[in-house]
Amino acid sequence: MKVPVPAYITSIKPYVPGKPIQEVERELGLQGTIKMASNESPLGPSPKAVAAVRDFLNQLHIYPEGSGFYLRQAIGVHYGLPSERVILGNGSVELVEIAARALLHPGANAVFSAGSFAMYPIACQVMGAPAKAVPMHERNHDLGALLEAVDDHTRLVILDNPINPTGRHVALKEIEAFLEKVPEKALVILDEAYKEFADAPDYGSAQVLMERFPNLMVLGTFSKAYGLAALRIGYGFAQPDTLTVLHKVRSPFNTNAVSHVAAVAALDDHHYVDNYVALNRVERAYLTARVRDLGLPVTSSLANFIFVDVPITADEFFHKLMREGVIVRPMGGSGWTHSVRVSVYTREGNDRFLAATRKVLDR
């Protein structure tokens, strides 16, 4: 290409999604491969969402309502917030990108933990903004070090809780104490994509802190606990004046009408969510214990995945396991060169992972 590209763009290492199962099976001559790489629901989508989408199919010729009016209303009712405090994104990650577009520039910086979700540094780098990646402590956010990294030019502080990929979490009281020390000129984004699975007594959604801290934004998603990953629908809570700024740089139809009707229906599918959360709690404990029985360290997780250390490189383990018909997520690209993220599956799928791992370790 002859068009000059800024150095901060050419230096971006793009996010690399996992290969589709069909492509893996075609390349390796496999059948019945299971994907435990993307933290998708092993139960399929919410049945109520599927029914709502079927009923909507004859309206595909009509543009979606630009702000997602009805879905924002439904989310507001579900979480006890006025719809004016709700914004929708093409997945919750788009809301991080929108905030970066609105607030970052080469003279402003963002602060987050090194080794957390891979899209945080990319969202900042696209804007040419300095990104301060602070090392974790024991695979968890080091809140003290993060605060030290915040300066007069910090405009975004991004934390995921629970953390992707380690699965660890920060107690709500610690989040509150952290927010008390962050300057008001920095927007703090709490990405709670896995909150439905977090069952520790000291965990809580930062939504309850929004009245005290007007510089707080809390994100959620329908991709995980509601089983709607294919529809890419996420949401954020923030003060109306914050959202007024973000809407200025949000594309007018950034979320689609099919995702809107599906998400409205899924919010009412308590049976599906309760079943999935209960299954995940049991199978996460089972998978963690059995992997440790194999002699592999596992970081305790509050999400729908576990974080496993392996004796070979993450990429080598990934490729060997894939040949056994099991796909996991190697985390070398995020700096975890000997760790993989493994989505919690059904008992049958978890046992397949364990059997495949045993084969790889015995070679």
> Would you call 100 helix, strand, or coil by DSSP?
helix
Tell me: pLDDT of 178 over 80: yes
Which tokens go with 55? 């009923």
Give residue for tokens 């099991």.
326
Q: How many other CB atoms are found less than 10 A from the CB of residue 277? A: 15
- pLDDT, tens digit (0-9, with 9 covering 90-100), for 106-132: 999 999 999 999 999 999 999 999 999
Contact 193, 223 (CB under 8 A): yes
Contact 35, 327 (CB under 8 A): yes
| First vs last C-alpha separation in the chain | 46
Give residue for tokens 């959202």.
243
Angstrom CA distances, 246 to 75, 129, 183, 237, 284, stand at 18, 17, 19, 12, 37
Which tokens go with 11? 């230096």
Tell me: pLDDT of 24 over 90: no
201 exposed, middle or buried (CB, 10 Å; 0-12, 13-18, 19+)? exposed
Tell me, what's the pLDDT at 138? 97
Average pLDDT over residues 31-38: 91
Tell me, what's the pLDDT at 8? 86
Contact 331, 340 (CB under 8 A): yes
| Radius of gyration in angstroms for the set of CA atoms belonging to the chain, rounded to a whole number | 20
Parallel/antiparallel/unpaired status of strands 234-237 and 298-299: unpaired
Tell me: pLDDT of 22 over 90: no
Average pLDDT over residues 70-91: 97
Which tokens go with 145? 């070090």
Tell me: pLDDT of 15 over 80: no
Give me the sheet containing 329-330, strands edge to edge. 298-299, 305-309, 339-343, 329-330
Of 219, 223, 303, 236, whose CA–CA distance to 262 is shortest? 223
Which amino acid does the sequence have at 65?
E
Which tokens go with 285? 């404990």
Q: 142 falls in which pLDDT band (50, 70, 90)? A: very high
Of 6-15, 16-25, 30-39, 190-199, least confident by mean pLDDT is: 16-25
Which one-letter DSSP state was computed for residue 316?
A: H
Q: 29 falls in which pLDDT band (50, 70, 90)? A: confident
Q: 336 falls in which pLDDT band (50, 70, 90)? A: very high
Average pLDDT over residues 134-153: 98
- Report the helix count and the strand count for the chain, using DSSP H and E: 13, 13
Q: 290 falls in which pLDDT band (50, 70, 90)? A: very high
Tell me, what's the pLDDT at 320? 96
Give residue for tokens 């496999």.
30
Task: Give percent of the chain above pLDDT 90.
Answer: 89
> Would you call 214 helix, strand, or coil by DSSP?
coil
> Would you call 35 helix, strand, or coil by DSSP?
strand
Average pLDDT over residues 49-61: 97
- pLDDT, tens digit (0-9, with 9 covering 90-100), for 151-164: 999 999 999 999 99
Average pLDDT of the chain is 95
Contact 197, 225 (CB under 8 A): yes
Tell me: pLDDT of 291 over 90: yes
Of 53, 52, 47, whose CA–CA distance to 275 is shortest? 47
Q: Give the domains, in start order, of the chain with CATH numbers.
A: 7-44+271-362 (3.90.1150.10), 47-267 (3.40.640.10)
Average pLDDT over residues 212-217: 98
Q: 27 falls in which pLDDT band (50, 70, 90)? A: confident
Tell me, what's the pLDDT at 330? 96
Beta bridge partners of 236: 87, 219
Q: 363 falls in which pLDDT band (50, 70, 90)? A: confident
Task: Give percent of the chain above pLDDT 70.
Answer: 99
Of 37, 40, 88, 43, whose CA–CA distance to 66 is shortest? 88
Secondary element (H or E) of residue 266: helix 257-267
Q: 23 falls in which pLDDT band (50, 70, 90)? A: confident
- Helix H segments across 91-171? 92-103, 119-125, 143-149
Which tokens go with 246? 């973000």
Q: 177 falls in which pLDDT band (50, 70, 90)? A: very high
Tell me: pLDDT of 19 over 90: no
Tell me: pLDDT of 296 over 90: yes
24 exposed, middle or buried (CB, 10 Å; 0-12, 13-18, 19+)? middle
Tell me, what's the pLDDT at 206? 98
**Alpha carbon distance 342, 329 (integer Å):** 6
**Alpha carbon distance 267, 282 (integer Å):** 23
